[in-house]
Amino acid sequence: MDRLSRWRDDEGLVLVPVGEAALEAELEVPEGATGLVLFAHGSGSGRGSPRNQQVARELRAGGLATLLLDLLTRAEQAEDARTAKLRFDIPLLAERLEGATRWAAQQPESAHLPIGYFGASTGSAAALTAAARQPDRIRAIVSRGGRPDLAKEHLAGVRAPTIFIVGGEDLLVVNFNQAARSRMTATSHLEIIPGAGHLFEEPGAMQRVSQLARDWFLRYLARDNNAT
């Protein structure tokens, strides 16, 4: 029995051990994958988010492996549903994401793959924070409707090329992303999708997000581009 199957639960989910927590996740590695993208959800969302599931499907169609995981345990999710506090605990979320990254780097299916992060809402801050702490491991970041301002002092330490995708009608978040980008030294790009709101529910908006994410990761995660 390999390491990955030992952590399969009765529902077919991967259980990712991070400290004392076991985080539920879905790891899918297409044949010939050229990179692995870990998803950092935020604002009360999780691996079942239909928007991030849509992005994940697009990434896998482009030959990228995906790890969608819940950064909170089920008990913590229940607590967060009552208090809405843990979704803003960026140090905790970043620590969980770092732990999941180390785990993925040890699995036979994914150990050889360069790693990127896809962060949504407060998950974007967790992704940027975790990337700044692992500058030699994280190769690319995509932020969707993110709160990179919550990463604060970690922004300048991010080395991974980062694209910020924001809805044109999400004006406050546009401002947050513009300000955060100005504090970064890594390659970065701000893509504003006209007419889209915070959740990208408008026709075609999430498809555009998916395409932008796919292209960004394919550009920066191709193994030939990162060969050492």
pLDDT at 44: 62
Structure tokens at 22: 């076991």
Domain 27-223 fold: Rossmann fold (3.40.50)
Using DSSP bridges, classify how beta strands 115-120 and 138-144 pair: parallel, antiparallel or unpaired: parallel
The candidate with the shortest Cα–Cα distance to 40, out of 131, 108, 112, is 131
pTM beyond 0.75 = yes
Q: What is the pLDDT along the chain (228 residues), one digit of tens a residue?
A: 344 444 554 455 899 999 989 999 999 999 999 999 999 987 666 787 888 899 999 999 999 999 999 999 989 988 888 988 888 999 999 999 999 999 999 999 999 999 999 999 999 999 999 999 999 999 999 999 999 999 999 999 999 999 999 999 999 999 999 999 999 999 999 999 999 999 999 999 999 999 999 999 999 997 544 443
Assess contact for 115 and 35: CB atoms under 8 A: yes
DSSP string spanning 110-129? TTTS-EEEEEETHHHHHHHH
CA atoms within 13 Å, Cβ hemisphere of 113: 32
Pairwise CA distance, residues 81 & 43, whole Å: 10
**Sign of the torsion formed by the C-alpha atoms of 148, 151, 156 and 161:** negative
Q: Give the C-alpha distances (Å, rounded to integers) separating 208 from 97, 179, 197.
A: 26, 23, 13
Pairwise CA distance, residues 67 & 167, whole Å: 25
Structural element, H or E, at residue 83: helix 74-83
- In three-state secondary structure terms, 17 is strand
Pairwise CA distance, residues 159 & 139, whole Å: 8
- In three-state secondary structure terms, 166 is strand
In the numeric block, the tokens 């709160």 are attached to 147
